Every structure is written in C-alpha cells, then in structure tokens.
Amino acid sequence: MRFVVANWKMNFLSDQARDFCEAFLADYTASPSVTTAIAPPFHLIRPVADSFRSRQVRVFGQNGHADPKGAFTGEISMAQLQDVGCSGVILGHSERRQLFGETDEALAAKVKAARDWNLLPLLCVGETLEERQRGQTLDVLDRQLSILARTGPTPLWVAYEPVWAIGTGLRAEVAQIREAHAFIQAKLRTLMAPNIGPVPVLYGGSVTPENFPELLDIPEVAGGLVGGASLDPAKFATLVKQAG
C-alpha cells in the first residue's frame, strides 16, 4: 500500500477549492493499492469532504487541539474535525513546531486525543539544517518519536520531513532518506504493540512528479506528504497515479 497526502496549508478560497476538486476528480481513479488524502484549511474541510465522499479520498485536518472543547480562541478540536468529515489529522508539522512553538508534550496529548476521536494521526518528524550539520538527525528523530511511549499503542502514520527540504527545492539524498526511514521504523517497532501492525513512513520535502518515482523506489518510503505540488490538481493526480 502507498500513501499520498496533500497538505494545502493556508491556501485556496472556496471557489479555488471547488475548481481543484472538479479538476482532480476528472483525472482520478481510486486504486486499492493507494490511499489518497487531502488536508485543506479548516474552512474548506466540509465542502472538500463532501466532494470526495464517494470517491475514496480521505480528508485530514492540518492540526487539532487536545481538548474536546473549551476557551481556546482560534483552535479546533479533534471532535470538531471529526464532525466536519475528517478521518485523520496532521500533527507536529515542522511549521507548527517552528512558527507556533508546538512542543513534544503538546503533541503527546494531541495524538491521544486524535485516537480518542477515531482520527488517524499523521505525525511529522524531522531535523533542521543546523541539526543535520551537527550530526543530530537521529537524536532529533528519537526525541520526537519518543512521545509515543506516553500515548500508548495507536494506529498512525509518520512523515519524515527534513525541515531544510520543505519548500526549498532541496531534497535529501537517497542514503539520507533510507537512514532516517530505517531508524524511524526501528524506533516504531519498539514503541508500538504488535497488534497495531506496520506503520507507514512517508517522505515530505519538496515532493514533485519529477522526483516521486525515485522516492517510491526507496524500499523504506511508503509514500509522500506533498505541499506545493498538491495545489495543482494535475500534478497531484499524477502523484497519485505514480504511487499506483
């Protein structure tokens, strides 16, 4: 099974999202070997979920709060994400960690909350350029994944996103990706109960139709978390076809 997830970030108005869905669906055929998901901005979740409801495309939130409700202005709960049609949620994206101060402690609570509301967490992990240059990549991944010891076994996906390769046009070398993904998979085996099953590890970092086939040739890569290329329906449809 391959996995292709679009992260629209803070892009698209209603009309643009509708046009995307129409164009993408015109070129999309569901495949039993590919799981496709799109994470729109919060205001677009319901219409996007409605567009894809019968087409086997999952809808994820881009973030979620650990509490089911409360006085948290500007936040959205896992319960609310589920209510508007989400089946999963991206957690710990590097932009959330770097720009909004999201901590490992907060993420542990969020993973548990997602599980409680039957949302699949897509946990993002990865190092900055400075951490890579200091030889700290595996230490960073170990720390970020160790929150799962506090959440208890839970179904999830993981995305390895070297921060220095997001939106920069840069991409980690094959050997670097293999090392990181192999480490993540080994760490997950020590943290997850056997009955949870294998955890897919996606790659995120300037994924495009030009480089995705090479990425999919890496045995440890289960798919892609896609940013910029996911805003073009033709490019995203191509990525889904390549995964099949």
Spot the catalytic one: 95, 102, 127, 161: 161
SS3 sequence of 25-66:
HHCCCCCCCEEEEEECCHHHHHHHHHHHCCCCEEEEECCCEC
Crossing angle of helices 14-26 and 45-52, rounded to 10°: 20
Strands 88-91 and 120-125: parallel
Q: Is the dihedral of CA 22, 209, 145, 199 positive or negative?
A: positive
Q: What is the DSSP string of 99-130?
A: HH---HHHHHHHHHHHHHTTPEEEEEE---HH
Say whether 174 sits in a helix, a strand or coil: helix
DSSP state of 202: E
3-state helix, strand, coil in the chain (%, to 5): 45, 15, 35
161 tagged catalytic: yes
Catalytic residue among 65, 93, 102, 181: 93
Catalytic residues: 93, 161
